[in-house]
A = this chain, B = another copy of it.
């Protein structure tokens, strides 16, 4: 039987993947949202679905919430619900892009009334963090402009900085602000936080509790994401990942499905930079849209993809790599890295799961569990969750 090297097992244990509550609701494109049977109707059902992912992978112990999509009357009750199901609530995601007031921006809107409203929502999210015990506030702003001249690029940065400052100052000692960037969509000329440089500049202006989120689908074509990861780790400012994959834009496909070698390279930099350890504060989250595939299996497969890439990254022979690098042996150094990537780690992961008392094949185990049929049968009536709820 395959044995799992201890340093690999330690790394895999440290690799906890947080799943997003909204992945279990319906999603789609501007052209069509195809509804799926059995989709949750409320945050409690979303958490229940998320718990299935952890049940079969053992690697997804927490669930990100999205406010207001996951607003509930009693966060203590939701927290307890999660614990009862063997998971916990994670990062709180603010949403300042769906109110009618935000058509031209939220915290960067030219109208101070709208900015106040948006900032108040961010502060409310910190309240939710206090209520749930969440330590991380994740901020993604859809703010931007569609047409040259539409608004003043620089003034919008000033407004953004002002709002971030107010929210930052509201954070507790153990709370962080995670600032996400995105190249485009929904704005098509400027985004107010389009790239890691902009997020980084705001974070260093704010203070040590502000860190950058890397969403793997939010870059221009050709961007070397692992370079950004290495650079942010070096600067001590990598807060979290939103994992997904893409061929074109922000496709939000399953992580590892479009370019598994890229995912491996990213995780290699995480290993090199110390982010795959029990002590690391870097969060690894999924942020995906299962538009045409079933959602829970889509999440399970994604967690498995992260685990497989992590295992490969942990298998890199760092001594051999360093020796080839310092010798200027281009092909030799590349070969060391490729040797790990080319390894079939599925037997290793099967063994790792069995050591943890899990089924070695999470996809098959979930399929056999009957959960999919049960939710289709049970969840009759109500309004299915989606990006609007």
Measuring CB to CB, which residues of chain A are less than 8 angstroms from any residue of chain B? 27-32, 34-35, 97-98, 100, 102-104, 110-111, 142, 146-154, 157-158, 183-186, 188-190, 194-198, 200-201, 204, 219-224, 226-228, 230-231, 233-235, 246-249, 251, 253-254, 257-262, 265, 269, 272-273, 291-294, 297-298, 301, 308, 321-322, 324-328, 330-331, 333-338, 341-344, 346, 363, 387
Contacts and interface: CB of A to CB of B under 8 A. Distances in A.
21 contacts: A111-B328, A146-B251, A146-B292, A147-B253, A147-B330, A147-B334, A148-B261, A149-B324, A150-B325, A153-B272, A154-B230, A158-B234, A195-B195, A201-B231, A220-B221, A220-B223, A221-B221, A222-B247, A294-B331, A301-B331, A344-B344
A188 B253 CA distance: 8
A26 to B, nearest CB: 11
Contact of A30 (B29, B100, B231): B29
Contacts of A31: 97-98, 142, 185-186, 387
Given A31-B98, A223-B220, A249-B185, A230 B337 contact: no
Q: Name which of A197, A201, A273 has the most chain B CB atoms within 10 A of its CB.
A: A197
A184 B29 contact: no
A261 B260 CA distance: 7
B104 A330 contact: yes
A379 to B, nearest CB: 17
A141 to B, nearest CB: 11
A8 to B, nearest CB: 16
B342 A346 contact: yes
Contacts of A219: 220
Q: Name which of A219, A220, A246 has the most chain B CB atoms within 10 A of its CB.
A: A220
Contact of A222 (B30, B147, B183): B183
Contacts of A342: 308, 344, 346
Given A183-B248, A189-B224, A231 B198 contact: yes
A335 to B, nearest CB: 7
Nearest to A151: B325
A192 to B, nearest CB: 9
A150 to B, nearest CB: 5
B272 A152 contact: yes
Nearest to A104: B328
A154 B253 contact: no
A259 B247 CA distance: 12
Q: Name which of A150, A321, A333 has the most chain B CB atoms within 10 A of its CB.
A: A150
A201 B232 CA distance: 10
A146 B330 contact: yes
A265 B150 CA distance: 12
A32 B186 contact: yes
A96 to B, nearest CB: 11
